[in-house]
Every structure is written in C-alpha cells, then in structure tokens.
Structure 1
Amino acid sequence: MKQTWRWFGPDDPVTLAHARQAGADGIVTALHHLNDGRAWPADEIAARKAEIEAAGMNWDVVESVIVHEDIKTRTGDFRALIDNYKASLRALGAAGVSTVCYNFMAITDWTRTDLDWPLPRGGTALRFDIVEFCAYDVLVLERPGAEADHPAERIEAARRRLTVMSEGDQARLEKNLIGWVPAREFVFDRASFRRALDRYRDLTADGLRQNLLSFLAEIVPAAEEAGVRLAIHPDDPPFPLFGLPRVVSSAGDARAILAAQESPANGLTLCTGSYGAGAHNDLPAMAKEFAGRIHFAHLRNTSREPDGSFYEAEHLDGDTDMVAVVSALLDEEHRRKAAGRADREIPMRSDHGHALIDDVGHGKSPGYTWIGRLKGLAELRGVMRALERPGMEP
C-alpha cells in the first residue's frame, strides 16, 4: 500500500519534512483556505501540488472537498454548490490528483469528548465518553428531544457526572464537542450550534440517505469523466449524535452506496477506526467484501466499552484485527496488479496518533501529532512487510 500522511497545509506545525521523515511517500491534504463550497481554481491546485512535489512526495489524496450543509439538506444554494463541486473534481483530475475522500456527516466531523485522555504508559489519546456526551446533550445544550435519545440510566449517570465537573471541565467539554474540528475555518458557540441543528429538525435518516444518493447521481458521472475516484468516509462515531441522522455507519450503508452508482469512481474510504467504534461492524469482513471499491484506507484502532464509549487505541491493539485488515487490502492489491488496474496501489495513512514525547504541548492538532502518527505508520509498515513474505498471511 502507498504510505501517505495527512497534512493541513503551510500552517500545519507538522511539516512536509516531518511527513517525509516519518516514511510517507504521499500526502493527503486539501485547499483548506478555500474549502467553503467554492470551486477550486486550477492555479491553486497546481501551486499546492508543486509544493508537495518539491518536498519529495506526491499529492495522492484530497481530504476533503467539503460537502456543504446546503447539499446535505438540499436547501439554499445546493444547486450552485454541486456545480462548484463538479468543477473542483474536474480541476483536480486535470492536475493528476485522482482520489477524493469526502464525508456526508451532518454538521459535525469526527466527535470526541476528550482530546487529551491520559494513557497508562504516558501520552494521551482521543476518547468518546458516552456519559459525558449525554451530560452535554441533555443537561447543558438542552437540545429539544435529547432525553428520548438516551436511556434513563445514562441520563442519571450524566447528572451525577455533571455535579463533579467544574465550570472549566464543562467549558472544555463544550469546546471539544462543538467548538473544535480540524481544518475548519469557523467554530460554533452554543447558540449557533442550536441553529445548525434546527436545519436538520425535519430531516430523517431516510431523507438524508436520499440526499446522499441524489448527490452521488450527479457527481459520480462528473468524477468518472474527470478520472477521479471518490471515496466516502464513514460517520465518526458510527451512531447518531445530537439527534442527527447517520447514513454511512455500517456495512449495509456501504453496500447501498456502492449499489446506487456501480461506477468504479464511486468507492469507499475504509476507516477502521470510524467503522470500528461500532460493535456491529466486522472490519476484516468489510475489507474483504468491499476490497474492489476501497480507494483509500485510514488505519487506526479503537477500544470499545460496553456502554458505547471508546478511545483511540494503539494502531495494532484495540478491537479491530488490524493484521487481518491489512492482509485483505494487500490481497486486493495483488488482484489489481494481476488485472492490470492502474489503481493497483491503495493509499493508506496512520490516523489519530497518540500525543507522545515532543508532541505534548507543541501546538499539534489533537489526533494529528507527529510522533504518535510516525509510531503508528512504522507499526503498520512492519505488518505490511511481514505479510508480503511468503507464508506469513494470518
């Protein structure tokens, strides 16, 4: 697999030189300063591509061309925004950037209650605590209808938890849940977040799913024409939050998305952490079933708890059999090579690294540390190297 690295552009404290030293050959990035729904100009794409190539790597994956909320709800300027999306795909394809990761999560990106959860051996990880989330959703945000989305025992546990949280703890929780998302130019406060939620008040999961399929019906042909492979990223976590519908959370969801547009341009990002946070998902089985349409892989691991909480585990620990997943992806690469496919190499990246040693206190975005991701990438590289030896498959 092609070893890649997510980079947030020139302002990222983890530089292209850091990525190269970590062993990456490819870069995963976007034009974050233009990622608000406008069409990406060819000269901006060319400049970013040249910057990456000057550092000795290739721009292998765009993560992401943002899907505007108007598109997800099919309101407002959604028609013009879809046209802009098509224009960006054409410009990327013309520049030779041929894989685009995107998501269809309503309002939120990946969501965690704790961005600095202490690990037993030192360092910190990302964590989602279902009780703390409930405390914010029901008792702080006071979202209408929230109590119906949580069992009574969880709400009672949330009330107890809130009594021992200081004002600072509550402010931190709110910032983590609604005020911080990587590579977003704006942040929500409580009032603006409530307004954003209100846009989805009458949109059911079936409605959001239909909006996704309508979007695919328009952009997949444009991607195919541009020579671009689309790779939808799953919901993170893979269950509803804040009453918002989720439509990319299971093998069944992935199956429906791929069946809706049978084009090779319509594919998946296999994020083992996002899917893996749900006990209903069998990642080795999904890697095998969807192998031919997996265009990108985020390889990370999570450890689940019985109540639905989870934290970001070591890349080779946690609840997902990472060796089995990597084996399935390498098998698919061998099939593609035998078939003469141009996309025989699947780009992958380590993801959501722990904050370790010099990562701590150096301004690196939570989950996008240097040493933590370097460690994860090195471990995954070792797995790949071992599996590529005859007789070493699990």
Structure 2
Amino acid sequence: MKQTWRWFGPADLASIDDVVQAGAEGIVTALHHVPNGTEWTPEEISKRQELIRHRKDGAPSGIAWDVIESLPVSEDIKKQKGDWRAHTETYKTSLRNVAAAGLEVVCYNFMPVLDWTRTDLRYQLAHGGTCMRFDINDFAAFDIHILERPGAAEDFSEAVVDEAGRRFAALDDDAKKQLARNVTMGLPGSTESMTLDDVRTHLSAYGDISPDRLRNHFIDFLSEVVPVAEEVGVRLCCHPDDPPFALLGLPRIMSTADDYRQVLDAVDSPANGMTLCSGSLGARPDNDLPAIMDAFGPKVHFLHLRNVKRDTDALAGSFHEDEHLAGDTDMVALIAAILREERRRAAEGRADAQIPMRPDHGQDIVDDLGRRAQPGYPTIGRLKGLAELRGVIAALEHAQFGLN
C-alpha cells in the first residue's frame, strides 16, 4: 500500500513539513475552494501541486499529490434537475484537466444533500481524548424537533422517538444550534455548508426520488464520465455512504456490497471503482470488510483505513470513531486481504498494483486537544493510527512470519 495523508490545503493546521515527518509517501487533497459544479482549471490544479512539492523553507518535500478527494458531484447531477447536464460536462473537463496534470485517482461520493454526518464532533472518551460520534437518538432529536421534517418520527423506532424527545427537551438554545451545526457541517474541508432552510429546500427537491431512481441517476452520470476517465487514464472510486443507512428520508444507494455490485456491473470499466472505507461500511453490522475487499479487490482504487465501535447490532444505530486496531472491523484481516490483492495485481503486471491508502480520521489526543483541527483529522491521532497500521503491514509482510 502507498501510505498517503489527507491535507486540506494552506489552511490545514498540519503542514507539508508535518506530513513529511509523519513518513507519508503522498498527499490526498482537493480544490476545496472551488464551488461544486465549477471547472477545476489547470492553473488551480498546478498551484496546489506546487504547494505540495515544497516545505516551508522552499526545499523539495519529496512528495506529490497522489489522490483527489474529492471532486464533488453536484446536487443538480444527483437529482437530474437544474444545471445537471452542464455540471456533467464540467466534470468531464475537470477529469481531463487533472489527468493532464498527472493525477490518476479521483475519489467522490453520491450521497444526497449531506455528506458524512455526525452528531458530536468532540465526543469525550474514557481516556480523556475526543472523537466524532453519530448518535441515532441525537440525530432523531435534530430531525424531528429542530429540522421539523414532516413525517420524520415515522422513520425511527418508538424507543428512539421517545429518547429523542427527552434529549431535545434537555437542550438549551446553544446546544440546539451546535447539534444543527454538527449535522449540517458538510464535506470535510469544504467551504460549503448548509442552513436549515437549505436542507429543507433540498429535501423538498428530493421528495419524489426513490432509491431506484437515484441509482439510475448515478448510473446515467457514470455512463457519461467513466468513458472519459478511461480515455485519459483516471480511476474513479466512489466513497460509501457515511453512515451507511438512510437519513432524513433520503435514498442512500452506496451502503452495502450489493449496492456497489449493481453500480459497478452497470458501468463495467477499470475506470469505475470503489473507495473502500472501512469506517463507513463498518458502521453496519452486515458489512464484512475483508469479504468485501476479496469480492471487489480488482476495482478497489483507494483505501480509507479506520475503525468504528457500534453501540448495538442495529442496522441503523449509534457508533463512535474508535482506535484503528480496535472497533468492530478486524483490521488485521482486512489488511491481509488488501495485501493479497496487491500481490495478485503485481502478478498480473498491473501498473496500479500498489493501492493508495490513508489513515482515516483519528481521535484527538495529547496536543490535538488544544489545536481544534478539522473534525476527524487530528495530527497526532492520525500519526498514531498510521503507526498502528504500519505495524500490521510490516508483520504481515515479514519474510519469516508474514504472508510472503
């Protein structure tokens, strides 16, 4: 695996110098300042590449931009409304531009309205650190009592509805605003966030879109952009829904192995693949991560390695971001499956035998607690995660004791 590091650009509290010291071999980033549906120009792509190539003192960093995360798909494309055709053409242009700059891996998602969703960005852990958490009861309190979505209570169990009512009643005005901010925060690193009225407007526009219809919209989009990606040598990889179950009455169509199978089979191309995120998929108890890696290995173009701990075995339930080798996913078994796939690719002579991965998310520990970095992306917490993952990889690849 090629060990990469997510960097949010010049405003990131972790500098390129920090990334080099972490031992990362490449950068995962995006042009977060470019509005969705707008072309990524060669000039803006080049500026970002130049920033990555140099340390603070101007010396070469020795690392480069390896993976784009994310090149966002606009809401118009997902709904097939408004400027969706123009946005699709712009997406194709951006793919050509990034390919011309030497970038080959593009991560994106097809989640409607909200991207990753958490109810608590600083959840207190027993050891004194913090992490991100999704609590189904708090989310129901937001959905039913703050957003006031019509029919929201029907989407939750009676027990969750009752607990949500109790929790909402205990919130003061500041706590209600904080919960709303947490839920509507949007894509990490993005400058785009939503007000409650924005969310309500989008939900209204999705009112008649079923899961099957949204999947068809997705396949239509892929039918347009995948041939361009294949032509210019770009590998597209869709990130799973996070959390991997329906929220706000919206369809979510990339939550299970079967979801991926339908979409990857519908537009069958080496340019159409998966971002295997062990944390997102791992929030559902019916997702077997090593088995998913074995099944989709040839089309896994990017890896997010993180772990979550579920409160229960409910398909749609609460969870928090755990340590990378803790939680409910067997990370050792997953990494073993990844290494098997890399050896298989090498035997085939594939140029992409080494799959880029990054230590995804992390707990805020030690000095992270005072930095207030991008939620989910503390420097020390990710360093700890990367070190743990490296240890597993080194053991599994050991000539005497490992898989070789």
Same fold (TM over 0.5): yes
Partner of 2:74: 68
- Contact conserved, 1:273 with 1:300, CA < 8 A, in 2? yes
Q: Secondary structure at the match of 2:367?
A: helix
Partner of 2:171: 165
Tell me the distance in 2 between the aligned counterparts of 1:133 and 1:44. 37
Tell me the distance in 2 between the aligned counterparts of 1:70 and 1:30. 20
Following TM superposition, by how much is the alpha carbon of 1:164 offset from its aligned partner in structure 2, in angstroms? Answer: 2.1
Tell me the distance in 1 between the aligned counterparts of 2:342 and 2:53. 25
- Contact conserved, 2:366 with 2:380, CA < 8 A, in 1? yes
Cα distance change, pair 264–180 in 1 and its aligned pair in 2 (3 A):
closer
Once the two structures are superposed, residues 230-276 of structure 1 have per-residue CA deviations (whole angstroms, 9 ceiling, x without a partner) of 01000000001111110000000111111012110001000000000
Q: Secondary structure at the match of 1:188?
A: coil
Partner of 2:265: 259
- Contact conserved, 2:309 with 2:320, CA < 8 A, in 1? yes
Following TM superposition, by how much is the alpha carbon of 1:165 offset from its aligned partner in structure 2, in angstroms? Answer: 2.2
Tell me the distance in 1 between the aligned counterparts of 2:242 and 2:163. 23
Partner of 1:347: 356
Partner of 2:239: 233
Q: Secondary structure at the match of 1:357?
A: coil
Q: Secondary structure at the match of 2:3?
A: strand
Tell me the distance in 1 between the aligned counterparts of 2:397 and 2:64. 24
- Contact conserved, 2:189 with 2:374, CA < 8 A, in 1? no
Once the two structures are superposed, residues 74-108 of structure 1 have per-residue CA deviations (whole angstroms, 9 ceiling, x without a partner) of 11111111111001111111111000000000011
Aligned partner (choices 293, 298, 303) of residue 309 of structure 2: 303
Tell me the distance in 2 between the aligned counterparts of 1:89 and 1:179. 27
Partner of 1:6: 6
Question: Within 5 A, what are the aligned runs for 1:170-209?
Answer: 170-179=176-185, 181-209=187-215
Q: Which stretches of structure 1, 4 residues or longer, exceed 3 Å deviation after superposition?
A: none
Partner of 2:49: 49
Aligned partner (choices 394, 397, 401) of residue 385 of structure 1: 394
Tell me the distance in 1 between the aligned counterparts of 2:229 and 2:194. 32
Tell me the distance in 2 between the aligned counterparts of 1:384 and 1:35. 38
Aligned partner (choices 110, 133, 137) of residue 131 of structure 1: 137
Matched, 1:39 2:74: no
Following TM superposition, by how much is the alpha carbon of 1:312 offset from its aligned partner in structure 2, in angstroms? Answer: 0.4
Tell me the distance in 1 between the aligned counterparts of 2:15 and 2:209. 41
Amino acid paired to 1:59: W
Cα distance change, pair 179–388 in 1 and its aligned pair in 2 (3 A):
closer
321-330 or 163-172, larger mean C-alpha shift = 163-172
Tell me the distance in 2 between the aligned counterparts of 1:140 and 1:60. 41
29-38 or 320-329, larger mean C-alpha shift = 29-38
Tell me the distance in 2 between the aligned counterparts of 1:351 and 1:152. 34
Aligned partner (choices 82, 93, 100) of residue 87 of structure 1: 93
Q: Secondary structure at the match of 2:66?
A: strand
Q: Secondary structure at the match of 2:46?
A: helix
Tell me the distance in 1 between the aligned counterparts of 2:178 and 2:107. 30
Tell me the distance in 2 between the aligned counterparts of 1:32 and 1:173. 24
Tell me the distance in 2 between the aligned counterparts of 1:58 and 1:266. 23
Once the two structures are superposed, residues 215-242 of structure 1 have per-residue CA deviations (whole angstroms, 9 ceiling, x without a partner) of 0101100000110000100000000111
Q: Secondary structure at the match of 1:364?
A: coil
Matched, 1:375 2:367: no
Partner of 2:251: 245
Tell me the distance in 1 between the aligned counterparts of 2:162 and 2:397. 51
Tell me the distance in 2 between the aligned counterparts of 1:7 and 1:177. 22
Aligned partner (choices 315, 321, 337) of residue 330 of structure 2: 321
Q: Secondary structure at the match of 1:75?
A: coil
Partner of 1:22: 22
Tell me the distance in 1 between the aligned counterparts of 2:237 and 2:193. 26
Following TM superposition, by how much is the alpha carbon of 1:34 offset from its aligned partner in structure 2, in angstroms? Answer: 1.4
Matched, 1:112 2:118: yes
Following TM superposition, by how much is the alpha carbon of 1:208 offset from its aligned partner in structure 2, in angstroms? Answer: 0.6
Partner of 2:321: 312
- Contact conserved, 2:116 with 2:186, CA < 8 A, in 1? no
Cα distance change, pair 354–186 in 1 and its aligned pair in 2 (3 A):
same
Q: Normalization by structure 2: what TM-score?
A: 0.95
Following TM superposition, by how much is the alpha carbon of 1:198 offset from its aligned partner in structure 2, in angstroms? Answer: 1.1
Following TM superposition, by how much is the alpha carbon of 1:120 offset from its aligned partner in structure 2, in angstroms? Answer: 1.0
Q: Secondary structure at the match of 2:370?
A: coil
Following TM superposition, by how much is the alpha carbon of 1:50 offset from its aligned partner in structure 2, in angstroms? Answer: 2.4
Following TM superposition, by how much is the alpha carbon of 1:148 offset from its aligned partner in structure 2, in angstroms? Answer: 1.4
Q: Normalization by structure 1: what TM-score?
A: 0.97
Amino acid paired to 2:177: A
Once the two structures are superposed, residues 47-87 of structure 1 have per-residue CA deviations (whole angstroms, 9 ceiling, x without a partner) of 21222123221211000111000000011111111111001
Which 5+ residue runs of structure 2 have no aligned equivalent?
A: 55-60
Tell me the distance in 1 between the aligned counterparts of 2:187 and 2:180. 12
Matched, 1:332 2:341: yes
159-168 or 255-264, larger mean C-alpha shift = 159-168
Cα distance change, pair 268–191 in 1 and its aligned pair in 2 (3 A):
same
- Contact conserved, 2:118 with 2:132, CA < 8 A, in 1? yes
State the percentage of identical aligned residues. Answer: 52
- Contact conserved, 2:362 with 2:378, CA < 8 A, in 1? yes
Partner of 1:151: 157
